[in-house]
A and B are shown apart, each in its own frame.
Chain A
Amino acid sequence: MKYARFLFYTLTSISLLSMIMTLVFGCKPHNPVSAVEGDAAQKVYVAPGKYDEFYNIVSGGFNGQVSVYGIPSGRLLRIIPVFSQFPENGWGFSEETKPMLNTSHGFVPWDDAHHIALSTTNGEHDGRWAFVNGNNTPRIARINLSTFRTEEIIEIPNSSGNHSSPFLTENTEYAVAGTRFSYPMDDDNSNPDVSISTYKQNFKGTVSFIGINPETGHMGVSFQVMLPGVNFDLSRGGRGPSHDWFFFSCYNTEQANTLLEVNASQKDKDFIMAVNWKKCEEYAKAGMGKKSKVRYAHNVYDDKVHSATSTIETETIVLDPKELKDIVYFMPCPKSPHGCDVDPSGEYICGSGKLAAVIPVFSFSKIQKAIAEKNYEGDFDGIPVLKYDAVLHGEVKKPGLGPLHTEFDGKGFAYTSFFVSSEIVKWNIEKLEVVDRVPTYYSIGHLCIPGGPTRKPWGKYVIAYNKITKDRYLPTGPELTQSAQLYDISGDKMKLLLDFPTTGEPHYAEAIPANLITPKSVKFFKIEDNQHPYVSKGEKEAKVFREGNKVHVNMTSIRSHFVPDNIEGIKMGDEVYFHVTNLEQDWDVPHGFAVKGANNAEILIMPGETCTLKWVPDRVGVFPIYCTDFCSALHQEMQGYVRVSPRGSGVPLSFGTGNKVEPTGTTK
């Protein structure tokens, strides 16, 4: 009897459980567990001490940073601070890096980092730089892939909502920037005080071409193209035959300024815009643009002086396609296009209409023919609109719901992400036929194939960056990590291999073979080359000196002490600058530095580098300083004290380590 009751309870609870399971998971596309095949673990296992095959350079979205993962393991290798302050290493907190976050609006310590573009030569990865855009306060940053540090940030003038950025031309001649948010621009290109409802009359958009120095990577705004007020969304440079062209997706050609969800979804077709950048370059050089008075910040970090400078620039060249007739053309594209991706051959441009039931594929040679024959269906604000049928290679019918982005494997296949139907669809570019589809968990945004946006895709994997995580990991309250997924694409069928969590909210990412980066990776900065104005090259050069109410501490750190580690003679009202030089000359021996009560972060100083922490004491007393990075067996001993005396006190400035505590003068 007892046994029977037990069996009854068990059966009841099993059926209840399965009912609950059906309710919870019934709406999900497929059973997540059954999608993984037996050999998946071996394909992503990177044994201890072994390296991953690819670096995955991933935008951090709303964290304003870039993160680096190893593929196929999905291990997080590094977070590179870019547009956001990063207390972990003092980025944007140290005196040297504060200028990097300067803009025409002053210090802006955050941005929304969307897209990665790795530098290319002849359309192939060269492993030199990674570019990333800031969407909110329009900016483009350049990261050096030998130091994995942000070296340069340029603000984009005459812009707002820098989304279709920082995509590159084939030889990294230019990075582009486009306005997602058009805004009022008058004849002087200032932002006048007008009613928001005058969008159609007053609002304009621009696309900018940011020239890149082939040796140094330094950026400058070369020219901008003034355009009608629509939303420029994503873009890609041409390659091979389409080398001279750049393609931008445009939505909100309805020119709505409110409830865009409805009002910008009215037309059956919006546009893909084709820009002949080579012609633009020619016209800009010939002086056929209009000079525009602007203000934008240009910030450059130099690892010889280990410091950044910020310069405000005041002029750009603006080209008007209404006067220069052969630089811009619109092509109708269904419906509210997002992705605008060029295949490795440079012949095909794939538009992904978020609300469209087809993927239109445009043919570059047909575009050229239509332009030559002036095969227009009309114009949009004075810019010619080419006939859809004249430029179309064909449409992929019923591919899925909500296409967003397309990557390529170099074998004639395209891989498109579908947000609404939550899947990756593989299709044949020539035949426009779907050949495979796999579910993603859940609602994929961008996707990445190593080398996918280049002339020479490395293939092997596709990575999905999903927008919704839900039940993929242990729950951590209402806020969850973002979920990425790795698929094997080496065979005919895509196979799910791995889920891995990511930081921030990744948008676009690129992956590059490790061997293009590891041989160039810097291990430390040569102390002999350090030209920081407050460097101490050896402990003999360490000193403390006063300039008015500024006290400079030129300090050294080496395992396991600071020189000086006892400082007296600081007074209330002083600003203290600790310029800490790390004397180590070996890989992976940073020292940290922090002081009690500083309204600041720590600084983390790499071997051979000098970093400065500013401290304004707020009270009298003795304050500890210490190393924050566990550096050696005697790390806990790596500490010291700073004495702060009342304003006007007679305590002389003195400093030392060990026995020698020497008095010092009041000048340098």
Chain B
Amino acid sequence: MSMFSKTTILLTILALYMGACTSKKEAEDAAKQSPTPSEIAANQPEVHGMEVKSIELSTPLNKEWVTVGKAAYDLKCLACHKLTDEKLVGPGWAGVTKRREPVWIMNMITNVEMMLEKDPEAQKLLEQCLVRMPNQNLTQEDARKIIEFMRSNDGVK
């Protein structure tokens, strides 16, 4: 008998033995008692973003939204994103509304965890930047106004 198969048998016996010690059902029962982190997170009062399916855009731009969007940018986005095409921590914003669908931008802002997990384009950006885009806890309303500011930055009137 080869060394390999001896080891395999030994491991199998060991595994069977350990399996007998802690039954699966008991472990599952124990697991049921306490809430999971995601259950607890779901009960948190703060906004974590919802998957957005569509956004309506119109011209001329809503001037008030542009102003509010700019203020949100100064507070929560400017540290990483320039308004030119120069990359700082994340990509520059020049031309972003032409490169990306508005729903894509909206989801990156309000639901970045989901995007980094599922969206290939978002994953490509993470490979380039190597810093996970922070969830800055902006509401959809805030994000919509930031998109208006991005459009203004891209020359839309």
- Using a CB–CB distance below 8 Å, which chain A residues touch chain B? 41-42, 45-47, 49-53, 514-515, 518-519, 521, 523-524, 526-528, 537-540, 556, 558-561, 563, 583-586, 589, 632-634, 658
Contacts and interface: CB of A to CB of B under 8 A. Distances in A.
Interface in B28-65: 30-31, 33-37, 40, 43-46
Contacts of A634: 89, 130-131
A586 B79 contact: no
> What are the 7 closest A-B residue pairs judged by CB atoms, nearest first?
A585-B137, A586-B135, A558-B79, A538-B75, A585-B136, A633-B130, A538-B74
A42 B30 contact: yes
Interface string B114-143: 000000000000000011101111100000
Contact of B34 (A46, A526, A556, A583): A46
Contact of B30 (A47, A519, A526, A537): A47
A540 B131 contact: no
B136 A51 contact: no
B67 to A, nearest CB: 15
B117 to A, nearest CB: 15
B10 to A, nearest CB: 24
A47 B27 contact: yes
Contacts, number: 92
Given A45-B30, A50-B31, A539 B79 contact: yes
A164 B131 CA distance: 52
B74 A540 contact: yes
A519 B79 contact: no
A518 B40 contact: yes
A559 B135 CA distance: 12
Interface residues of B, number: 31
B134 A559 contact: yes
A566 B74 CA distance: 21
Contact of A53 (B27, B34, B44, B137): B34
A632 B34 contact: no
13 contacts: A42-B22, A45-B30, A46-B34, A47-B27, A47-B30, A51-B35, A52-B34, A540-B78, A556-B79, A558-B80, A559-B131, A585-B134, A585-B138
Contacts of A560: 89, 131
A51 B34 contact: yes
B78 A539 contact: yes
Name the residue in B27, B75, B130 with the highest tally of chain A Cβ atoms < 10 Å from its Cβ.
B75
A50 B134 contact: no
B135 to A, nearest CB: 4
A50 B34 contact: yes
Contact of B27 (A42, A519, A558, A563): A42
Given A53-B33, A524-B137, A585 B130 contact: no
Nearest to A47: B31
A585 B76 contact: yes
Interface of chain A, main secondary structure: loop
A49 B36 contact: yes
Interface string B5-24: 00000000000000000100
A558 B134 contact: yes
Interface in B71-125: 74-76, 78-80, 88-89
Nearest to B137: A585
Contact of A519 (B36, B43, B75, B132): B43
A41 B31 CA distance: 14
Contacts of A559: 80, 89, 131, 134
B106 to A, nearest CB: 17
B44 A519 contact: yes
A632 B137 contact: no
Contacts of A52: 34
Contacts of B88: 658
A46 B44 CA distance: 22
A223 B34 CA distance: 44
Nearest to A563: B79
Contact of B76 (A50, A514, A527, A632): A527
Contacts of B137: 524, 526, 585-586
B43 to A, nearest CB: 5
B133 to A, nearest CB: 9
Contacts of A585: 76, 134-138
B75 A537 contact: yes
A41 B22 CA distance: 9
B79 A49 contact: no
A49 B39 CA distance: 12
A526 B75 CA distance: 12
A42 B26 contact: yes
Contacts of B36: 49-51
B87 to A, nearest CB: 12
A42 B33 CA distance: 12
A524 B76 CA distance: 14
Given A519-B44, A538-B75, 6 more contacts: A45-B27, A51-B34, A523-B44, A561-B79, A585-B134, A586-B137
